[in-house]
């Protein structure tokens, strides 16, 4: 089960989620390196992006796949994301790019359960 909540008000934003992906059948860790939330810094915004649903997209852990879409390059998750060079785009352009990429991928997967929370 994935637990994600986000709150935004005049004082700031809070994004809270569990981290570990697990198997539905027994609750054991599915991929101990995967995360359900990433932090994305772009022109004019710092956001958290959390997901629930499928743990892999195109053979990549979903958090890695999301980060790769946003930075426009492959990432080796064994070495962490660190501070990758991010193309200069505002948050609206970044989220539109991510939405389009997700729509294409989820169509090929038969529209599985999937949701994003951007805070």
Taken in order 105, 70, 37, 35, the sign of the CA dihedral is positive
CB 28 within 8 A of CB 74: no
Q: What pLDDT digit, counting tens, does each position of 25-75 carry?
A: 666 667 777 778 888 888 888 888 888 878 888 888 888 899 889 888 888
pLDDT bucket at 102, cuts 50 / 70 / 90: very high
Verdict on whether the full-model pTM lies above 0.85: no
pLDDT of residue 98: 92
Above 80 in pLDDT, residue 111?
Answer: no
């Amino acid at each position: 089960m994935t637990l994600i909540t986000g709150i935004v008000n005049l004082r700031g934003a809070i994004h809270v989620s569990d981290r570990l992906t697990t198997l539905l059948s027994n609750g054991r860790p599915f991929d101990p390196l995967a995360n359900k939330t990433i932090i994305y810094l772009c022109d004019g915004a710092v956001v958290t992006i959390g997901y629930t649903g499928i743990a892999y997209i195109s053979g990549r852990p979903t958090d890695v796949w999301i980060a790769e879409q946003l930075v426009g390059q492959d990432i080796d998750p064994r070495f962490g994301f660190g501070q990758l060079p991010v193309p200069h785009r505002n948050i609206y352009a970044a989220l539109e790019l991510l939405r389009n990429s997700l729509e294409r991928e989820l169509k090929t997967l038969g529209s599985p359960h999937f949701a994003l929370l951007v805070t």
